[in-house]
Structure 1
């Protein structure tokens, strides 16, 4: 048996250009600023691949040439390719394909015992979420992925929120806490460990990937005439096909999309929020595409592959690439979280990779719109756990969520060095504590998709879709036991999902329930005269802006140091907001500067588009 992840084909977007590009005998290919291209030869890449996935170690010998030929033949046989022993084009294409990070031969480590669970009710916990999808969409993808296996076995899957689960699920990037780092966008998509204690059974997903349902970014439109419907990609406009948001047909440059497959026919559309047009990679630090933009004196109002030998879609993040040379890749079809999760959960249940290309447990990724579990996968999982009792299996589809239980345990604290892991029992808080009676909050931050309001040891959560004020508060100490009662600001890094809290000259870093700190902000490179960090705006690509009144810094989250050429003056970059603010935070893709009872909302283009009441517009308290 085997693991998922396979060949991915990105549809080429038909772009509409105001000026036809100059005809060329060969495709134009330029080096974009900030782009790193590998100098590794095909042979070097092949050797690394064969070693990483367990083939080369099996064929070690005195003659390296013969050893590599044997390893290549073994790999070709294992992956269902033509067995030649040569590094041919089919083999190179397979090596470049997105795939699961679990080795094809052997496992990450040598684990003792039979690699299957000794019980049928498997528990799981979701540690964090990807910013690419709403949490409820991610939860549903995991539920459906588990159901793939419960349909054909006696296994059941129960989500828990406290205690120790069998399967811990997390999103992380690069070095994410285990010995097997991810490799950035594309390449390795995810990995999982076989059943057992500790890290065994856990599933990790690369947060540098673009996670979707397999058919492109899930964009919730605003305004327009489609009542907030999702974009439908691709869609037809003026007889041309668009696979991303576009400004075609508009003189104001606002990105929009069709919400049916044919705008020309149905006339249904909505506007795309800026966070859905943010670029990936490049040198623009996650800024949104700007349409139209100029490239080599031609004008484009959609993402284009012009100038790229690899035909990847990109856009400029200013109106003129020729002048500013700011750019990034456009979101593509992405990878189906459901399919990748179903594959990884197969590993977490004890399955290895399959050599059948249509099997779920085949190592390479391939999108399947009407997925059904292959007989090879069924035979493998039933060998471990037996068949499902009762009626025969039916093809998995939309399912009801498995029952969820909350397991309460006594408070336990384990401390090693400066890292603390805590499971805390939560006592009820007086429900009469009304957030609408608070005049000024200590801090406001968007964490895990919800807006959090902090005050004197308590916090209130306002979900994104909430229509009214928050209910009873929660205690900071119950959720983040290491923190003081009063904090100055907080933010969550979009890439790692780590949450940072600042209070005075100290800061704390939470990863799930584990905490690092407190540490002094001087460790970040902030001046000794900085007494507090009063606001934080996380950016893509691992950067965050830290504010202290008249000054602000840009910090690299991974290195945890501020960048050179900082601090800078707040009023020069963020004109139009008060400099005596007491908090700054990012919410729904826009910057919010708070002073007393009011907030100034600023777009990514640094334009103030609203001044509102914190109490009524953010807390959603009734006006009376």
Structure 2
């Protein structure tokens, strides 16, 4: 949703009418200047109800005291709903925008004129506010002194020629522009008429760090959200605490993970959490493209123990967690056809690597870097194992495991058929899930029952109860009208001895860098 300012000056109810306020912040379409068309009472009531719901108020549809008070609360200049949301289908919003590069420069171009905060303090607060976001994304921010920067920061008054005029103390206090190909992408503006403070007891001042964290959320692509604890809700909430210790609320972390890539948690092979703190995929696997939010398959090469990622027609080779020079390269290097693969694993029994696509499989020699003659062959090779796979892996117990849907099959070392008693539940045996887990963008009404808990067996850590798994993608609260909203989906990667759940914060089983991959996904 690139930021294209089209709003006229309508202060946060300091001067304008409630209908102008509702129009400015996206709850009503702007009045037609040619006809002077007014909003009907029904339209106005619906807009007030939407505003009340977004602001966490009782939904009365009338301008009661609480609603008027919220309209007078200092807030961000950007709308809560995107332009045109009133005429689109309910809950449909354009896809968010994000930066396509990792390294972003910033500078404070103009400073507050009448403020107790010195320039060094302002720069330090900007640094730490940006660091809040760089700590949980693959983005890196660095300050520059020149005239050009990706994110230009200004303190301005009134109309400053960007379509979002400020309105004096109170009202709208700041705004930022979303990423995109426009020249203002990422730029962030603060109202210089505000009494900007930091660690101040002045109840009338605006905490610069808190507002900057919010605005930089916009600058990296996040829109406003209705969640009351989110830093991205539009109304000023006061100071958020020490910049050195501040951490984003869960709702904001989820939305950032959706936008900029996924995290994973690690467990030891006996299923103890290594740390409650997740690692970011793009930071851990340095060299994966920023736009790459999923992979088709991954395996460890037996010839040199390097790690190979596959996505579509390309592949990357990693030594430890750093990409090798010269990658990506085409999968034709393996004599594989274009279009991607479903799974890959190395079988210890014959020291060959197997690639799977639909009902075909190929056998490859990693030592000679040649495909064995006579392949592909119609599957399956192992009796009792489905011919179409989501993934396969060799585990530390010497057995091979094959995954399809929500089930898996075990093949003992050297055997050509599945072990008795299989398939078994992947959720129960690999994810330590109590109940069902869901890895599709399914409407709520199709779900059998929610996950009640996700626990690291044998440890003190529990990641449930998991109401978070039922959070809509936009992070806003659920309501009775939300039965068809797409939900967060879970992608699973097995790093040989690791299970990683992307998009949902569940668990990993970890035993090092050796890896395989599968994604719990609906086959097209």
TM-score under structure 1 normalisation? 0.36
Larger relative contact order (Cα-Cα within 8 Å, sequence gap ≥ 6): 1
